[in-house]
Structure 1
Amino acid sequence: MFWLEFAVVMAAIFIGARLGGIGLGAMGGIGLAVLTFVFHLQPTAPPIDVMLMIAAVVTAAGVLQAAGGLDYLVGLAEKILRSNPDRITFLAPVVTYFFTLFAGTGHVAYSVLPVIAEVSRETGVRPERPMSIAVIASQQAITASPIAAATVALLGLLGGSAAKFGFNVELIDILKVCIPSTLAGVLIAAFVSNKLGKDLDKDPEYQQRLKDGLVAAPHGAGGSEERTSLENTPATAKVAVALFLLGAILVVLFGSFPQMRPEWSVGNDIRISQILVKSENEAKDALVQLKSGGTFSAVARQCSIDATAANGGDLGWQSKGKLLPEIEKACAKLKKSGDLTEVIKTPFGYHIVKFDDKRPSTNKEKMGMPHVIEIVMLTIAALMLLICRVKVAKVAEGSVFIAGVQAVIAIFGIAWMGDTFFQGNMDFLSGSIKSLVTQAPWLFAFALFALSVLLYSQAATVRALMPLGISLGIPAPFLIAMFPAVNGYFFIPNYPTVVAAINFDRTGTTGIGKYVLNHSFMIPGLVATFSSIGIGFLLVKFMF
């Protein structure tokens, strides 16, 4: 059944990717329907937290675009590039990297690409070199941005609610690894890109286009030819940029310093006792003794193999999130002192738990980062609307908002389908690849990369596959190091920024080769991605 279910999942992803936009999420819905109604897999909970976080970030980014803030940022980028034309192969990716890092979206690259193409052509630099690595840099920066959908999704999986799996990841843990690793990977790839292809004056395709009059001869790049006038930028656009950057800074601060977040006492502590035995038959026999009038403490001393047996199985007071998930779920059904669970199976054996008492929780729970991000970014969006007097209808018409909504729908369908498939087949997957992946965790990076090629979304890839890595017991630092592996959608050259870069380069140097996969973005993309992963593994060894 596993392979049939796997075929359904892959077919849904493949067809959804070809449909594009919300088609990816819709096909995820069809895949989920087949898994549920045909193969009878129990559906998991939909990824609501991730969807709401992304919706909040996209709302703020959409208002920023409507206020003219993105145009202002593009103008700044153009000024930097035109001031240093001979270094464009290295400056272009740095510009797209940092703009994406702070904006949380790679869509800023669309507006910068024409500038890169023009400046490189005017200065005699082969446009393929800066164009290819600039696109790759904007993708890599997504996995380093504190407000990008993919980072938000990863934090939602590794932080807070994942503490029961031994994970306690904060935003700063992701950033301190992924910012230096991805930036270093981009710079390494820039050096490689600088060697790609023939120089422009020796490129036969370009020379033929010059001869045919398809492209004008270069006249040299200068500040007087700038398309974007920063002097005419409205004050409201600058205010919107300042507010958006303030939101990004606040998210980083709240994530880096948990003590800044409010905290509350949540739920109750419970006092419980347990009997732990090796086999299910032993557990059933013990349960029969208890239901026949035997005292829990006596049966525990007689049968339990746990260290608490001498104390009658007393585990003392336990806070929410501190117990094994299976035991915590069973204990939630116990209401009064003396209530017993049925037999509970865990990796440690078979348990019977008795409810002894409860009290208001002594542990305080801090506001989770998902809620922080949602509140901060919605607040920033509201301030931009009010202060900059942005028309709400214009926000919904912007490319950033439209693409963001599509990402939410894609995650809704694909991630829900992926979660259901992986959880429904966890026993098979654990037995087949757990030892392999735990002995060589870097192999999981190839799985992330391959799925991102199909999904065209870092966030959807994270939400679909990272839960498997968590369940397989891959350490959180290793999962963070492998995070840049989700940047694989340059592999097949039909992603929008890739297509845009090809069309903006009038010299014909940036393009798709005869065999499709031998395109301009392949080498820079592979070098940047796997350099980032390798550097990430080195960093986590020293940081964790």
Structure 2
Amino acid sequence: MDVSLILQLAVLLGAIFLGVRLGGMAIGYTGGLGVVVLALGLGMKPGHIPSDVILIIMAVIAAISAMQLAGGLDFLVRVAERILRQNPKNITFLAPAVTYGLTLLAGTGHTAYSMMPVIVEVAKGENIKPSAPLSVAVVASQVAITASPVSAAVVFMSGLLEPLGVSYPKLLLIWISTTFAACMLTALCVNLFSDLDLSNDAEYQRRVKEGLVSPAIKEDTRVELPVGAKKSVLIFTLGVLAVVIYACLISPALGIVKEPVLPRDGAIISFMMLIAALIVLVCRLDTGKLMEMSTFKSGMAACVCVLGVAWLGDTFVAGHIDAVKETASALVGAYPWLLAVALFFASMLLYSQAATAKALMPAVVLALGITPTHTEGVEILVASFAAVSALFVLPTYPTLLGAVQMDDTGSTRIGRFVFNHSFLIPGIVAIVLSVTLGFIVAPMLI
């Protein structure tokens, strides 16, 4: 390993570490800082800016923000809340199922915020530690990104894999079935092997004595939803279905529409903007309030993060593509599961499923020599994809911090040693199960 490589690697890891320490959008800022140092300081050629991924995130967030302003997200939350309150004893299973479903529909895990207070209240009412359902629910909201038809990560991966002979419907079938099953099995493990009795938790007892725990709310006391709430959900859902149908029709593996007017990326972006326009018109929204929506703010922050870290990662990888190809070909060829390990650790640092896939997957395709005429090994990419969801390892991700803050019982916590937090074990279990099921199911369907 020469000195230049050591310096380049130090800049890469240093920029990411600094961004993680600063928190929030800062990881995007420091990613740009890293690109400047690598390009102007160390003479590396800048990589590709992930404009396609960023544009997809922006378009999806635009539509979701309109639906939120119209009251659509509140409507979905109330439906989910009704399900949870009617089956409180099964909260450990229903909470992740609900957050998984919301992410699957919306393409962003930030929808989990709205469910966290409900999960805490229902769990407290049943004397169940909120940490049990919350931990799996947060993980499920992240893992579901790798199965959502409108997430930037899935759009990128389907665009990469379809020319290699794997149809869009098959990809969705594999990723939805394996990741959802993994989340439910994780919930089962938590339910079987965790001490769910809230009254036994020492921190909870301390907080009760100090009057820091509010009593569980048994019923919804919120105000009435806006008139256009249900309409916005209907428009958004139909729009997502239209995206899926169109993507299936233009799939090269199916060959139904051989020369599409709009490519998949363009279709998703334009359909999402159309959905947003329809919601604004039908629900008569005040567009000046769109930028005040929490989903808009979190989505734009995600764009900045992806811009910085994906550009930084691509700059480094592209500069060493020959070495990456040689090493990846030897290791992944001999040990296919190592790709999942690499994706796991990369996503832990890059903080984005889409950015991780964008940075590593094309290099792996080249390394394994996978082409449209030589597709041996493509199942490894499909099965390992779920491993890009290790955003829970460092306890600094927004949904993870939100869950800790909203659990006033103190059962959901970050330990003294940082990594020993409530989400680590459920997250690792969920990803291991997702990848394992992927290696079982993918070869059967591809």
Name 1:109's counterpart in structure 2. 112
Paired residues of 1:81 and 1:88 also in contact (CA < 8 A): yes
Q: Matches of residues 316-327 of structure 1 in structure 2 within 5 Å? A: none
Distance 1:233 1:446 in 2: 45
CA–CA separation in structure 2 for the residues paired with 1:4 and 1:481: 34
2:116 maps to amino acid: L
The amino acid that maps onto 1:8 is: V
Q: SS at 1:494's partner residue?
A: coil
Is 1:247–2:149 an aligned residue pair?
no
What is the Cα deviation at residue 120 of structure 1?
Answer: 0.8
Q: Is the 8 A contact 2:250 2:257 kept in 1?
A: no
Specify the alignment match of 1:205 in structure 2.
Answer: 203
Which of the residues 420, 428, 439 maps onto 1:518? 420
Taking the aligned partners of 1:19 and 1:256, their CA distance within structure 2 comes to 41
State whether residues 343 and 387 of structure 2, in contact with CA within 8 Å, keep that contact through their aligned partners in structure 1: yes
Q: Which residue of 1 aligns with 2:271?
A: 376
Contact conserved, 1:261 with 1:367, CA < 8 A, in 2?
Answer: no
Pair 1:543-2:445 in alignment: yes
Counterpart residue identity of residue 151, structure 1: V
Q: Deviations over 1:367-386 (max 9, x none)?
A: 32111111111111111111
Q: Distance in 1 between matches of 2:40 and 2:214?
A: 61
Cα distance change, pair 48–202 in 1 and its aligned pair in 2 (3 A): closer
Letter in 2 for 1:122: G
Q: Choose the corresponding residue for 1:500, options 402, 405, 412.
A: 402
> Which of 129, 146, 152 is the aligned partner of 2:149?
146
Distance in 2 (CA, whole Å) between partners of 1:198 and 1:542 is 38
Residue aligning to 1:353: none
Q: Which segments of 5 or more consecutive residues in structure 1 lack a partner in the other structure?
A: 265-363
How far off is 1:4 after superposition?
A: 2.0
Q: Which moved more, 1:93-102 or 1:388-397?
A: 388-397
Letter in 1 for 2:211: G
Amino acid at match of 2:183: V
1:72, 1:238 within 8 Å by CA — same for their partners in 2?
A: yes
Provide the C-alpha distance between the structure 1 equivalents of 2:268 and 2:118, rounded to a whole number of angstroms: 33
1:495: how far off? 1.4
Which residue does the alignment assign to 1:71? Answer: 74
Aligned length: 433
**3-state SS of paired residue (1:125):** coil
Distance 2:166 2:261 in 1: 14
CA contact under 8 A between 1:140 and 1:484: conserved in structure 2? yes
Q: Give 5+ residue unaligned stretches, structure 2.
A: 371-376
- TM-aligned CA deviation for residue 155 of structure 1: 2.8
* Distance in structure 2 (CA, Å) of the matches to 1:154 and 1:8: 28
Q: Distance in 2 between matches of 1:514 and 1:54?
A: 35
| Counterpart residue number, 1:181 | 178
Question: What TM-score, normalized to structure 1?
Answer: 0.75
Distance 1:238 1:384 in 2: 11
**CA deviation map 1:381-420 (0-9, x unaligned):** 1111111112222111212112212222222222222222
CA contact (8 A) 2:139 2:392 kept: yes
* Alignment match, 2:138: 135
Aligned partner of 1:472: which letter?
A: A
Q: Distance in 1 between matches of 2:98 and 2:385?
A: 22
Q: Distance in 2 between matches of 1:525 and 1:13?
A: 21
Runs of 4+ in 1 over 6 A off after TM superposition: 259-264
Provide the rounded CA distance (Å) in 1 between the counterparts of 2:356 and 2:71.
31
The alpha-carbon deviation at position 450 of structure 1 amounts to: 0.7
- Distance in 1 between the 2:167 and 2:56 partners? 16
- The structure that has the greater radius of gyration is 1
**If the length of structure 2 is used for normalisation, what is the TM-score?**
0.91
Contact 2:357 2:388 in 1 (8 A): yes
Q: Is the 8 A contact 2:250 2:260 kept in 1?
A: no
Residue 301 (structure 1) aligns with: none
Tell me, what secondary structure is at the counterpart of 2:394?
coil
Root-mean-square deviation (Å) = 2.1
- Does the 8 A contact of 1:261 with 1:366 survive in 2? no
Residues in 2 aligned to 1:213 and 1:404: alpha-carbon distance in whole angstroms: 36
CA contact (8 A) 1:263 1:366 kept: no
- The aligned residue for residue 126 of structure 2 is 123
The residue aligned with 1:491 is 393
Alignment of 1:414 onto 2:309: yes
Whole-angstrom distance in 2 between the partners of 1:21 and 1:171: 33
Q: Which residue of 2 aligns with 1:236?
A: 228
Q: Give 1 or 2: higher helix fraction.
A: 2
Provide the secondary structure at the position in 1 that maps to 2:228.
Answer: helix
How far has the Cα of 1:537 moved from its partner? Answer: 0.9
